[in-house]
A and B are shown apart, each in its own frame.
Chain A
Amino acid sequence: MESSSLISDPVEFRMGEVKVIGASLSLFCCRIEWALKLKGVEYEYIEENLRNKSPILLQYNPVHKKIPVLVHNGKPVAESLVILEYIDETWQENPLLPKDPLEKSTARFWARFVDEKCILSAWAACRAQEHEKEKAVESAQESLGIIDKLIEGKKFFGGETIGFLDLVVGSLPNWLKFLEELGGIKLVDAEKFPSFHEWSKKFVEIPIIKEKIPMPEDLINYFTTSGLAKTIHGSALANNK
């Protein structure tokens, strides 16, 4: 669906219950769509062009100007973890977070860890200069190792079925494959992080997830065609252009 037709008609945009403003390749946006699908919530999806941000995005997230944004009855909610909690509190079918306060806190703790440590350190390893690369990769792997231990012996982070933390970790394996290629580094392998590897195989087979998940080849394509690969030091992709 072309997003420009909606953007040019603000009245039509305001009507309708749930909208998601996102970008298909974003690690953070897919979390939101999965959550809504899991709860059977109908929504309208609007693909945002991050290199040319629409007035709608700037209106609904003036502070950060970032996706994802959930708009519910015209009211915007930004930041993926905040949105996930909002979704869970608003639509109570198929709860994402555990009911027990301690288990809930634990899920929140690990969600922050994924966002603040795993993702950032993986990016840092990808962008690191040659002389810093080894150390940066080690640091990223340390964080991933912790996640690997966390999922050890479990089917999903949420237990028998996927939950909050599964959605948060979500497309990380695909993003890591992409970052590896972009940065010419090795972050994961089945031997080093077997439980993480097993989890990711099961996760992507779930129909709702399989339907829409950022794929490494699409990420690579986006970065190379947009010229963004050049911003990564020593990127094999940049040099191959």
Chain B
Amino acid sequence: MEEKKGEVVLFGTWASTFCTRVELALKLKGIPYEYVEEDLTKKSELFLSLNPVHKKVPVLVHNGKSIAESLIILEYIEECWNTTPKLLPEDPYQRAKVRFWTNYYDQKIMARLLPIIVSRGEEREKAIKEFNELLKAFEEGINKDFPEEFPFFERKTLGYLDIVVGTTLCNYEAFHEVVAVVFSPEKNPVIMGWVKALKNHPLMKEMLPPHDKLVDKMREKYLGQYP
């Protein structure tokens, strides 16, 4: 049931997983919105006025007011539109755990991708190893903190962590093709299971960028190779 609460515009880029997070949340909640693809090589005046501090996507504009940063936007959506499904747990302690692990994922795990991309040979091996260790710690932590809910296979709906993790890790095949294999059932079996389940979710399937298109984009961005 959609709740019309004023005009919603999302400024994003199709290849940005942070933007996909926001689109997923809007779609999940049945919130109608207009999407504007922003060319990051030629940022529009309008866009710059909406996020003058960081000049990054995604930016959500609701009734003319802008909100930036994917996680902040997700929480804003959750608070503004009281529709189900709820993205975050109601209980403050459960919420705190979700926020903690989301921060861990974004600030530690995601931060390890760039060192992998820019390094080669032994250095890259080392970077991949670090990435896997962090992923392992993440896996164990989530398992411990959400014993009834993890893995999120059984739930039919996506939550905050599913959105945050799914939008990047579900693209692993493209990353493997362009950069390196960083992620396997042997090294991180539980997360792999979670990601596979997420990839099968109809909304995730709809929102994730097509594999080939993403591969081309990654080659361009990471290797300077143009199709």
Contact = CB atoms under 8 A, between A and B. Distances in A.
Nearest to B78: A101
Nearest to A101: B79
Interface string A73-99: 001011100110110011000000000
A112 B69 contact: yes
Nearest to B63: A102
A82 B103 contact: yes
A interface secondary structure, majority? helix
Interface in B36-78: 53, 62, 65, 67-69, 72-73, 75-76
A118 B53 CA distance: 13
Contacts of A109: 67-69, 72
Contacts, number: 53
B99 interface: yes
B103 A79 contact: yes
Interface stretch (B21-29, B90-98, B164-172, B196-204): B90-98
A104 interface: yes
A82 B99 contact: yes
A113 B68 CA distance: 12
B67 A105 contact: yes
Nearest to B51: A109
Interface string B82-111: 000000000011011001100110000000
A41 to B, nearest CB: 13
B72 A108 contact: yes
A106 B72 CA distance: 9
A105 B68 CA distance: 9
A73 to B, nearest CB: 9
Contact of B75 (A82, A108, A113): A108
Contacts of A63: 104, 137, 141
Contacts of B76: 101-102, 104-105
A85 B99 contact: yes
B80 interface: yes
Contacts of A104: 75-76, 79
A63 B109 CA distance: 13
Contacts of A146: 53
B62 A82 contact: no
Nearest to B100: A82
Interface centre among B68, B92, B103, B141 (most CB of A within 10 A): B92
Contacts of B95: 85-86, 89
Contacts of B53: 113, 146
Given A86-B93, A102-B67, 15 more contacts: A77-B96, A77-B100, A78-B100, A79-B103, A82-B96, A85-B95, A104-B75, A105-B72, A105-B73, A105-B75, A108-B75, A109-B67, A109-B68, A109-B72, A113-B53
11 contacts: A63-B141, A79-B103, A82-B103, A83-B96, A86-B92, A86-B96, A89-B95, A104-B75, A105-B76, A108-B72, A109-B72
